Amino acid sequence: MDEKQEQIKETGSIDLGENKKRHKIKLLTIIGEIEGHEAVSGSTKATKYEHLLPMLAEIEDSEEIDGLLILLHTMGGDVEAGLSIAEMIASLSKPTVSLVLGGSHSIGGPLAVASQYSFIVPTGTMIIHPVRSNGMFIGVKQSLQNMLRTQDRITGFLAKHSRMKKERVEELMLNPTELVKDVGTLLEGEEAVAEGLIDEVGGMSDALRKLHKMIDEHQEKECGEQTDEIK
């Protein structure tokens, strides 16, 4: 197994650099369940946040990487882990683009909108629903308050990093008519864009084209700032 294949197998990432613009792009995949402090079952496809956080820090610090492309196909998972990854992505200074493929549900929503620009394929889906409780739930007022505060963090993040108002996020999240035996809303590609959650419907070529353009603009801005410093 060569180095690239090993990198894909171990981290779900690969370096792209053989393009006409000579831009060095890190391709990162967020697939399956977002794994937090507790490991998911061995048969479940998972993205481990302890792998992603150091990788994102390396992307920010590296002079060899010009931009980040994120491919998403996740049903959600650990809320705290997902939010920590989303905050890391949002804090990167380098150009970032995300592309939702099959779906980006639940905590996958913040992960999809954390990049500077987001795409979704026409058949892609986003599901917005309230926070779920796993394991033992202590039925006291404080437990409910903690869940509501976590939910508020998610709606706030979605609103801050998309064109949706927080009130609209909450409305879709608590919709009782969209999902069978559940509360929430499923948005397909065009609907996610129309609601302002995702920036544009498109595929791989669109995402890469946009990222190359953003890298060019970022590099021009940096060159301008360096010239001003010299003067």
Catalytic-residue membership of 212:
no
> Strand 117-120 and strand 200-201: pairing?
parallel
Give the active site residue among 106, 115, 118, 162: 106
Tokens of 229: 């410093």
Closest C-alpha to 121, from 110, 130, 112, 134: 112
The count of C-alpha atoms lying within 13 angstroms of the C-alpha of 155, restricted to the half-sphere facing its C-beta, is: 20
Give the active site residue among 23, 129, 161, 212: 129
Q: How many residues does the chain have?
A: 231
Catalytic-residue membership of 106:
yes
Angle, CA of 201, 204 and 208, to the nearest 5°: 100
CB 101 within 8 A of CB 80: no
Q: Name the residues annotated as catalytic.
A: 106, 129
